[in-house]
Structure 1
Amino acid sequence: MDSITFAPPYELPQWPFVPPPELSAGEAGRHPVVIVGGGLSGLTLACDLASRGIRSVLLDEDDTVGVRGASSRGICYAQKSLEIFARLGIYERIAAKGATWSFGRTFSGDTEVYSFNLRTDSVSVQPPFINLQQFYVEWFLVDRILELGLTDLRWKNRVLEVETQDDGVRLHVETPAGRYALDADHLIDATGANSPIRTQLALPAHASRSTDRWCISDVRFKKPLPVERWTWVDAPFNEGRGVWQHLMADGVWRMDYQMPEDADPAEVSLPEVAAARLREQLGPDVDFEFVWIGPYGYRDHLLERFRHGRIFFIGDAAHVVSPFGARGGNTGIQDAANLAWKLALVLRDEAPATLLDSYDAERRPAAVQNLEVTSRSARFLAPRSPAEHVLRRAVVALAERHPFARGLVNTGRMSVANDYPPSPWQPAGSRTVQNVPLTDAQGRSTSLAALLRPGTHWLGLWHAPDPAQVDAALGAVAGRPIRLVAVGPRADAACGLPGHAAGAAELAHLGLQQPGSLLLVRPDAYRAALLPAATADGLRQALDTALTPAVPSTPAP
């Protein structure tokens, strides 16, 4: 048998357990925000709140990031998530460490039937995707949180029970030094798919488990492969089943192999079995070392509501989708970005508590859409009936000869920023605004994310405003959480506002081709309103609608 080698395991960082003050005080402390769970969504929320000057407590039952013994979990970070990380100050580390890509190929057998380039219509500073092992992103978030200094990170703190109250939530927590209680004005559950908080509250998640089975091999090759996303619908080297290959950081490739439904997880994960799959795909002489091998199945679930009184559910605690298209971790990151600015405004008394209801109104429809998209991918990759098998064979055969059929080959629709449906806060709905590059009046390169970074505020991008309108607009928004800046082909500050130059493609994306138009951008870089001819009254009305709609607040259950 050919020799099989393993790379040394990753050494994950560890942070010390520090006895919380409640242990010595002997009474429950009270905090405006308590986050439970130090994964992607919980850490993103804590970092986003801290970037806006909001303190929080984060409880995690471990003392490290990632999952011990596992190399890769989530690996693909979409443009919207990367734009969020740019605003939070960790994008440069992610870009330097990860593998950037935008091109993908899909094969049936030995024939390429479909390819795509996600970069073609983007004007963002960030690329469509960067692949990076999840623990690195979490690590960078912890470092940034510690740098900002406003988050009480409590490692080795396991939540045993929560009690809902009229004005908050009480948590009972176990630590190596004993048990204590603390009170939260707002509790955020970021504990993942098996949320004990959701279970304790007996909230139905409508879970369903797929019979589809896969095995991951994280591998380092001596001879590099193309830095592209390659997928096979029916790989001849995997008994006619699906295969994925992605490059991650450290020269490690993630190879996903679809297994028979009745596969034994222990058997398919044996090093000699995994090695045989690699040699079948890449030839008997391929030179490689394993980093990690592991089987996985998947399930989906969806909470009926993402807010229950003072408790908010984000990430996998609220929703789980199948892994095709990287719509899991990215959705949790975007949940956190949606909730953070709303919590910050409410805690600063700059918006009413009703604004928090818009979290469920926006993020649950996004989760529903992602569930629908990923379910279609799962059915294409693992047909459940003879008719579905016939349909897939027909689509693949047509795609080899006819361009119209190539878009029907569904190996995963890649994660995108979801549009939001109409709501009392956004009567016309809303869509993301890309992190467009800009140039300031001193000729320095900047971006939309940089303009949003200083704190909790909205951004009014005004194309060549009439100076007569500027004074009235500034008076109309005085004391409101908004900054006005001028944009146009030149960085012109003559109107009394900071000036930033934008190219024609960027202005078109922003909807600001006409002088006098104004785009109101939310703190999470979503469009709030586009005013074709901005006036002080129009700006005031747009802000009032987005922050203080005439709707009742969600009552505590």
Structure 2
Amino acid sequence: MVRASTDKSGGYALPVFPFKRPPELDGRHRRYRVVVIGAGLAGLTAAVDLAQHGIDVVVLDEDNTVGVRGASSRGICYAQRSLEIFARLGIAQRVLAKGVTWSVTKVLSGEKVLYEYDLARTHTSLQPPFVNLQQFYIEWFLADRFEELNTGEIRWSSRVTGVAAHDDHTVLDVTTPEGDYRLEADWVLDAEGAGSFVRETLGLQVSGERTPDRWCITDVRVSAPLPHERWTWVDAPFNEGRGVWQHLMADDVWRLDFQMDEHCDPAEVSRTEVAEARVRKMLGDVPFELVWVGPYFYRTQLLDSFRHRRILFLGDAAHVKSPFGARGGNSGIQDADNLVWKLALILRGEAGEALLATYDEERRAAAQTNIRVTQRSGRFMRPANEAEHVFRRAVLSLAGEHVFARGLLNTGRLCTPHDYRGMSAFGAPGEGVGASVPNVELNVRGETCSLMTLAARSHGRLMLFVDDACPDLEALRAALVALPVDVYVLGGDIAADEPARTHLCVPHAGAALIRPDSHLAAIVACADVTQVRAAVACALGQPTLEPERLA
């Protein structure tokens, strides 16, 4: 990655990306296939994914660096599902090498541990349950990966200042340091964030609410060793009985989130002297270095539809929720994972535009769930009325001794993959259909690889795993040859050990259809050609399969 310099922003050294003069400023115009607005988590994940599909993409970002100036720490917890996506995109090893892996979470009241759980106990994926890493590093790795793929370009210092949406394309006005220009795109992915200019300019309807809860992030480098665990105080005695989170990130920096009084002055609580006093009260005589401080509040926000003509919304441009349980950035990453393979098939003429209806259906449902879950966590951490205070006091008093009460401790239900069970792309119900399949190790034709490796090689095609006891494999292969489906035979292409069969959900003499985003699309008890074709049609958003009409 070519960088002119680094910028010390809020205590972190961020890369500075040079502005490159676009051809439109010299009068050379063309219509692009895909333009992504916003080089944040969701936008860069989508851009890298598109580039891996060989789709030329232009990314527009109004800044010239990653992260947000003065708020560089931001999101820090990346869940197993996001790490699996990063594995498919080729940056997982960099994330793991730089970040801090953890699996133990504890909830405390005062000095007492009320609940402790190790997420590794039920873990099956090749990726760990969670990795903590400052958000700007993830964006930095994605930007580097995009350049490695050499398909498309990121246009830094390029702000969208106008938008016109048409049925078959979108026109964008772009302002740069060297002048303004107009750009046309077949498809636009809006990942600008919560204050999306495109969404606001088009007057699209959103619903939501602000909350009175106030927090202050304090990033510190601590000299003494602290446990590599997620600790949450519901009522920390060193924070006037309010909540506190404690996480270790990269560079030996601890992320401490302090819940503030709802009437606090954000400028006052984030002053260096005030922040240092708050940390000293928590850590005692332990030496520390203040790295960055930033106040925040949160709100909920949900776009009525994630598609407007040829514009698709993802990440905070589509939905905003509180940060409890790491459901913000991870959700945007999963939006991109859900969307891009569908758009890639459409651009290649292997699926019709009807497939995009499943993006809106599935990811809007995921956003609704995340908003509901985080709202409940917010009400537990800051009760809204006396009845909620009574409930919380009862839970805290009982949780230390009674298992049932520990399940009621709600300091943030940790991010998990959304289960699309019962939605339109998943056809007949079956055990696990709609759920995410963990990234398991597979032996494919003598090579040790993983489900995410196969997903990357599929380039957006569905993956059908068939038991070698299927009565007519050749007829099945022939029936799928013109469709975007890769067929793998357990006992042939893939070693049919019991763990592989169980994780891939393949029944004896049957088949399992898995989407490129690793969600189980269908289980066919007997790998009948008609049933398999029907499952493929459903996964592609088609009532029936007519390959010659998909384009």
- TM-score by length of structure 1 reads 0.93
Contact 1:162 1:169 in 2 (8 A): yes
- In the TM superposition, residue 68 of structure 1 has moved relative to its aligned partner by 1.8
Shift in alpha-carbon separation, 1:519–1:136, aligned structure 2, 3 A:
same
Amino acid at match of 1:324: F
Kindly report the root-mean-square deviation, in angstroms, between the aligned alpha carbons of the 2 structures.
1.7
1:438 touches 1:501 (CA, 8 Å); kept in 2?
no
C-alpha displacement at 1:9, in angstroms? 3.0
Q: Does 1:500 align with 2:495?
A: yes
Distance 2:498 2:290 in 1: 47
Matched, 1:541 2:543: no
Task: For 1:392 and 1:373, locate their aligned partners in 2 and report how far apart those are by CA, in whole Å.
Answer: 17
The alignment of Structure 1 onto Structure 2 pairs a total of residues equal to 532
User: After superposition, what is the alpha-carbon deviation per residue over 1:442-462, rounded to whole angstroms, capped at 9, x for unaligned?
Assistant: 2x4311001111222111122
3-state SS of paired residue (1:126) = coil
Residue 40 of structure 1: how far off its partner (Å): 0.3
**Equivalent residue for 2:11?**
9
Q: Which residue of 1 aligns with 2:167?
A: 166
**Deviation per CA, 1:337-386, whole angstroms, max 9, x where unpaired?**
11100000000000011111111011000000000000000000011111
- Cross-structure match for 1:205: 206
Q: 1:126 to 1:502 in 2, by over 3 A?
A: farther
Residue identity matched to 1:232: W
**How do 1:363-374 residues align onto structure 2 when only pairs under 5 Å count?**
363-374=363-374
| Aligned equivalents of 1:409, 1:253: Cα separation in 2 | 24
Residue 214 of structure 1 aligns with an amino acid whose one-letter code is W
Instruction: Give the one of 461, 477, 485 matched to 2:465.
Output: 461
The structure-2 alpha-carbon separation of the partners of 1:324 and 1:158, relative to structure 1 and needing over 3 Å to count, comes to: same
* SS of alignment partner, residue 13 of structure 1: strand
Instruction: Determine the C-alpha separation between the residues in 1 that align with 2:272 and 2:541.
Output: 59
1:510 paired with 2:504, answer yes
Aligned-partner residue type, residue 233 of structure 1:
V
Residue in structure 1 matched with residue 133 of structure 2 by the alignment: 132
Contact 2:133 2:250 survives alignment (8 Å): yes
Secondary structure of 1:210's aligned partner: strand
Query: Quick check: 1:190–1:316 contact (8 Å CA) kept in 2?
Result: yes
Q: Would you say the 8 A contact 2:10–2:69 is kept in 1?
A: no
Letter in 2 for 1:145: F
Match of 2:223 in 1: 222
Counterpart of 1:457 in structure 2: which amino acid?
A: R
Q: Note the 1:411-430 alignment, pairs <5 A.
A: 411-427=411-427, 428=429, 430=434
Please tell me whether residue 392 in structure 1 is matched to residue 395 in structure 2.
no
In the alignment, what sits opposite 2:71? 70
Report how far residue 188 of structure 1 moved.
1.0
Alignment partner, residue 437 of structure 1 = 441
Residues 437 and 502, structure 1, Cα contact 8 Å, conserved in 2: no
Q: Report the more deviating stretch, 371-380 or 524-533.
A: 524-533
Structure 2: state its 5+ residue gaps: 1-7, 545-551
- SS of 1:123's equivalent in the other structure is coil
Q: Distance in 2 between matches of 1:501 and 1:96?
A: 32
CA distance in structure 1 between the partners assigned to 2:108 and 2:515 by the alignment = 41
Deviations 1:462-502 (A, max 9, x none): 23344x52211110110211111123xxxx43xxxx22354
Is 2:279 the partner of 1:240? no
Paired position in structure 2 for 1:24? 26
Which residue matches 1:554? none
Which one is further off, 262-271 or 306-315?
A: 262-271
Residues 65-88 of structure 1: CA deviation (Å, up to 9, x unaligned): 001233310000011111000000
1:194 maps to what in 2?
A: 195
1:299-351 deviations in whole A, cap 9, x for unaligned? 11001111111111100000000010000000000000111000000000000
The C-alpha deviation readout for 1:217-261, integer Å capped at 9, x for no partner, is 101111110000000000111110000000111111100111111
Amino acid of the structure 2 residue aligned with 1:38: A
Give yes or no for contact 1:59–1:157 (8 Å, CA) kept in 2: yes
More moved, 517-526 vs 40-49:
517-526
Percentage of identical aligned residues = 52
- Report if aligned partners of 1:362, 1:421 keep a CA contact under 8 Å in 2: no
Other structure's SS at 2:350 match: coil
Which of 471, 476, 480 lines up with 2:474 in the alignment?
Answer: 471
The answer to whether the 8 A contact 1:365-1:421 is kept is no
Q: Does the Cα contact within 8 Å between 1:71 and 1:291 map onto a contact in 2?
A: no
**Range with greater deviation from structure 2 (539-548 or 195-204):** 539-548
Matched, 1:290 2:298: no
- Structure 1: which amino acid aligns with 2:467? H
Q: Secondary structure at the match of 1:499?
A: coil
Which SS does the other structure have where 1:96 is aligned?
Answer: helix
Counterpart CA distance in 2 for 1:289 and 1:238 is: 19
Q: Which amino acid aligns with 1:479?
A: A
In structure 1, the gaps of 5 or more residues are 1-5, 552-557
CA contact (8 A) 1:307 1:313 kept: yes
* 1:52-76 Cα distance to aligned partner (Å, 9 max, x none): 1111111111111001233310000
Q: CA deviation at 1:204?
A: 2.2
SS at match of 2:254: strand
Matched AA of 2:425? W
Give the match's secondary structure for 1:411.
coil
Paired position in structure 1 for 2:403: 403
Query: Match of 2:494, as an amino acid?
Result: G
Partner of 2:5: none
Residue 16 of structure 2 aligns to which amino acid in structure 1?
Answer: Q
Residue in structure 1 matched with residue 452 of structure 2 by the alignment: 449
Alignment of 1:275-286 (within 5 A): 275-283=276-284, 285-286=285-286
- Given that residues 59 and 154 in structure 2 are in contact (C-alpha distance below 8 angstroms), is that contact kept between their aligned partners in structure 1? yes
Match of 1:555 in 2: none
C-alpha contact (below 8 Å) 2:9/2:72 kept by paired residues: no
Contact 1:7/1:289 (<8 A) preserved: no
Cα distance in 1 for partners of 2:220, 2:358 equals: 43
One-letter identity of the residue aligned with 1:530: I
Which AA in structure 1 matches 2:337?
A
- Partner Cα separation in structure 2 for residue 360 and residue 329 of structure 1: 18
Tell me, in whole angstroms, the C-alpha distance in 2 between the residues paired with 1:45 and 1:323. 22
